[in-house]
Structure 1
């Protein structure tokens, strides 16, 4: 063999040795294979029949022992292979093993007839991961049992949400999940330990919402609250969207979230349980709006107390100037404490009984990205970081029966990096996307509409068609924000109704109406089915 000379042996004492041929596996336990009169040959390495996957790698090392190392011959797949001597052993290394079956052979001649020894180690290299497809997973309602089905060619088992299933001869598998999380990984593993992972989302049919927004302070005013309730009684709306945390950073009820109380954010304008009981008693769904990262209360208190990484920073370490929003208005979406604060509020609201949590300002500030710094973001993009935050929230609130929505700019469908709202990413992380497609907010010429504000049907219909494309295959519903206010052009019932029709023509029966003063035009709603 290479590296060892072949020469006439000098006379030496002859021993009859009853040798044990052994293999030492990963655990280090010796596995006796053969006993014979031989020159004490032993091979330590992988046992015969082993399948080496990607984790084990294509590089292997064996150790060979014998009474006389000079007489040992080692081959791989019938070809001699070099070895080096270390003390009383030969070290044999292989690298870049090809896919498929292999045989390592070590042999040595004894000093008496019939005392030669040979050891074979048959093994397979298989670093190809199985192929895995997962059928769309749907639950009839929140937290209901689901059946997971799919095909995992080349796999021996499939695992999902703590449950494991064997794979049939045809590659199919079925896993029953008594209560599936909103998103989880399905992992198919083969006998070599190679694994393929498919992220999976459990889609729950969104019950729909014909909703109107009201602030926490607005709810405390009978002059604003009662007309809204009258629309409910007339069955013109079936959902009310009520602020949990608003643009000023104030929480509208007596929140028990520690950070909210610590920074003085709680400004109780309504009793959450009483309001929810009242509205649920009327058959009304309630959406809790949380303005996430525009938060002047948290921003100012954090800067004051030295927790400056809670804010969006400038490259030189200052607080980013959010323009008309204010210098300390935008908190840092990548900061763990900021994320936890908003998620804690979402969980609390879900526990109280809000049917949905709808994030607003779940974005970075406007402006050039080069002028902003997001401490803690690591190697993630702003778009990925924000989508991850939304996904974390959904996982946290789903056990409490609440849906999660994300309000987004209309331009995000075509310009995902402008404010870090990547629609396909967000749609995979939320139950629904709520694009703000207010006609007054579009520039002339968008989607080929010369005057969007004067063409409410055209701009809403065309922009929502884009959101349909962006959310396809994600499991998310689109629930658009529509304009019930005048800005530059007077909006009456006809203009509001035109937007509702545009949404309906995109197979979107749900909508959210916005009017900062909570004064809505019932006549517009009367024109829709």
Structure 2
């Protein structure tokens, strides 16, 4: 019998035992898992950030829930592939073992996948006073961190949170993150309780005229009005006071028709609200200066690149899609709110009339209607920060034809505190709302059109404060016609109104204390 096989087997056994007895000298070094701690709660994207390092990547095995997974070696690191993981508990094992009989050096990570964001709810809020603190309460069970408008708020064990802001913001921008990193977000406008107002329109030049200013002040003393609407920037692109906005000074738009600080102090001393009317995109001063400076993208253009004219002049309509144009108007609104205007009321916050196919709007993304709504949202935050309400004047036809001038009432109403429709009876065509001659039916046309506006504005929690006709066109409008419109608004639940007369002359007989 040949003794050599038995001898070889004994020798091999001795070598294995020797390796075992020499212990750690031949045991491989344990791999290291990066980016995943044991017991972690994480999302299914965990493998996007996990890697394993090992001195022996050739002998490395990686198992997920008992199944070996492939990997890509990069030096002493391996990158694990993107994996489709179900929610729940998982186990990852990385091991190295060159000799099968030896216990492999390994590392184990047990982790839980959670891809469900926390549920978040916020108690309804309403700002009754823009200068008073606002308390926000809500819950986000399972959330580790909750932020409100970028700042962290305390969260209790059940996910409840409560914080008080020094003044009401335009929006509540909330985010709740759980331990896995899932984030739930919500942005909610803060609805306001706009005070009742009965006001009249005054241009900057009219206010500078004692002949026009004093009758309005007397109406206030007699309790007939509680609000003066005073132009900030008018249809000519002129700013009534000495604005410090850099672009306004650069283009010569800032005038000194009235002293803003002194005027606000005077009117507030009489317990009057002051609404600043800001004509936005009809702006001949900015349009002409921009065209001459070669900044043509600031203007609405024809398809061949010329300035859009329509019925307003050759260089009149600025481009609401242009960031510089938007910022200019928003900066004026912010300045006026900071000065102390109680409301900022945009006018001509729209595109010009005419076919869109014949217009060029450089920089426009999406629809004109959405661009207008986005501009209002841009202004609302900074205006609200200074304690002022934001409104938007709109055409009467916008309630049934929103794309004709890019005024989508539900979309706009989500970004302002109130919608101010210009429902002048003289501006409706024959047959509107089933009325043959709207100008001869001030109550009917006002009541029917405002009913539509009220329904649409409520979709965004905005109130409706109408512009009413206090001027004559084909038919003489005296106290009776004005009172008919006021009654029509009141019958729609609208106690507030603004009277428009371009000449800024008003008949006290149309109003009652």
Shorter chain as normaliser: what TM range?
Answer: 0.7 to 0.9
C-alpha separation in 2, matches of 1:90 and 1:188: 34
Q: CA deviation at 1:149?
A: 1.4
Trace 1:341-490 onto structure 2 (pairs within 5 A).
Answer: 341-377=328-364, 379-472=365-458, 474-490=460-476
Shift of residue 368, structure 1, vs aligned partner: 1.3
CA distance in 1, matches of 2:502, 2:56: 91
2:177 matches 1:172: no
Q: 1:520 pairs with 500, 506, 513, which one?
A: 506
Cα RMSD of the aligned pairs, angstroms, is 2.9
How far 1:184 moved relative to its partner? 4.1
Partners of 1:137 and 1:201 within 8 A in 2: no
**After superposition, where does 1:21-40 map in structure 2 within 5 Å?**
38-40=27-29
Tell me the CA shift for residue 97 of structure 1. Answer: 1.7
1:44 corresponds, among 24, 33, 37, to: 33
CA shift at 1:151, angstroms? Answer: 2.8
**1:259 positional shift:** 2.4
CA–CA separation in structure 1 for the residues paired with 2:354 and 2:456: 24
1:23 aligned residue: none
Question: CA contact under 8 A between 1:163 and 1:175: conserved in structure 2?
Answer: no
Contact kept? 2:31, 2:105, Cα under 8 Å: no
Distance in 2, matches of 1:85 and 1:226, equals 85
What displacement does 1:211 show?
Answer: 0.3
Q: Which moved more, 1:361-370 or 1:391-400?
A: 391-400
What is the deviation of 1:292? Answer: 0.9
Q: Which residue is 2:113 aligned to?
A: 125
Matches within 5 A, 1:226-237: 226-237=214-225
| Inter-partner Cα distance in structure 1 for 2:78 and 2:271 | 80
Report the CA distance between 1:520 and its aligned residue.
Answer: 2.0
Taking a change above 3 Å as real, the CA distance of residues 42 and 238 of structure 1, as seen in their structure-2 partners, is same
SS of the aligned residue for 1:137 comes to coil
Q: Secondary structure at the match of 1:297?
A: helix
Looking at structure 1, the residues matched to 110 and 401 of structure 2 have their Cα atoms a distance apart, in angstroms, of: 57
Matched, 1:215 2:203: yes
The unaligned stretches of length 5 or more in structure 2 are: 1-11
Q: Is the 8 A contact 1:41 1:64 kept in 2?
A: no
Deviation at 1:154, TM superposition (A): 3.9
Which of 267, 291, 313 is matched with 2:279 structurally?
Answer: 291
Does the 8 Å CA contact 1:144/1:180 hold for their aligned counterparts?
Answer: yes
- Residues 443, 131 of structure 1: CA spacing in aligned structure 2 closer, same or farther, 3 A cutoff? farther
Aligned residues: 498
Question: Structure 2 matches for 1:316-327, cutoff 5 A?
Answer: 316-321=304-309, 323-327=310-314
C-alpha contact (below 8 Å) 1:14/1:111 kept by paired residues: no
Instruction: Find out whether 1:334 has 2:324 as its counterpart.
Output: no
> Quick one: distance in 1 between partners of 2:54 and 2:183?
36
The alpha-carbon deviation at position 187 of structure 1 amounts to 0.7
Structure 1 range deviating more: 154-163 or 111-120 = 111-120
Q: 1:134 to 1:416 in 2, by over 3 A?
A: farther
Tell me by how many angstroms 1:135 deviates.
Answer: 2.3
**How many Å apart are 1:315 and its aligned residue?**
2.9
Q: Is the 8 A contact 1:186 1:198 kept in 2?
A: yes
Query: 2:81 is paired with a residue of what secondary structure?
Result: strand
In the alignment, does 2:274 pair up with 1:269? no
Conserved? CA contact 1:408–1:436, under 8 Å: yes
Q: Deviations over 1:230-258 (max 9, x none)?
A: 22122111111111211111222233333
How far 1:171 sits from its partner (Å)? 4.1
Shift in Å, 1:104: 1.8
Farther-moved stretch of structure 1 (117-126 vs 293-302): 117-126
Mapped contact 2:130–2:168 kept (Cα < 8 A): no
Deviations 1:185-206 (A, max 9, x none): 1111111111121112233322
In 2, Cα distance between equivalents of 1:87 and 1:292: 61
- Looking at structure 2, the residues matched to 277 and 88 of structure 1 have their Cα atoms a distance apart, in angstroms, of 74
The residue matched to 1:395 in structure 2 has which SS? helix
Secondary structure, counterpart of 1:404 in structure 2: strand
1:469-500 Cα offsets, whole Å, 9 max, x none, are: 22225342221111112233332222211211
Where 1:211 maps in the other structure, the secondary structure is strand
Which residue, 455, 459, 481 being the options, matches 1:495?
Answer: 481
Aligned to 1:22: none
Q: What aligned pairs does 1:195-214 form with structure 2 within 5 A after superposition?
A: 195-214=183-202
Residue number in structure 2 paired with 1:30: none
Are 1:77 and 2:40 an aligned pair? no
1:86 and 1:398 map into 2 onto residues whose CA distance is: 54
Report the secondary structure of 1:325's partner residue: coil
Change (3 A) 1:85 1:239: closer
Give how far 1:360 is off: 0.6
Match of 2:19 among 14, 19, 22: 14
Query: Which structure dedicates a bigger proportion of its chain to strand?
Result: 1
| Distance (Å, rounded) in 1 between the aligned partners of 2:296 and 2:101 | 84
Higher mean displacement: 404-413 or 216-225? 216-225
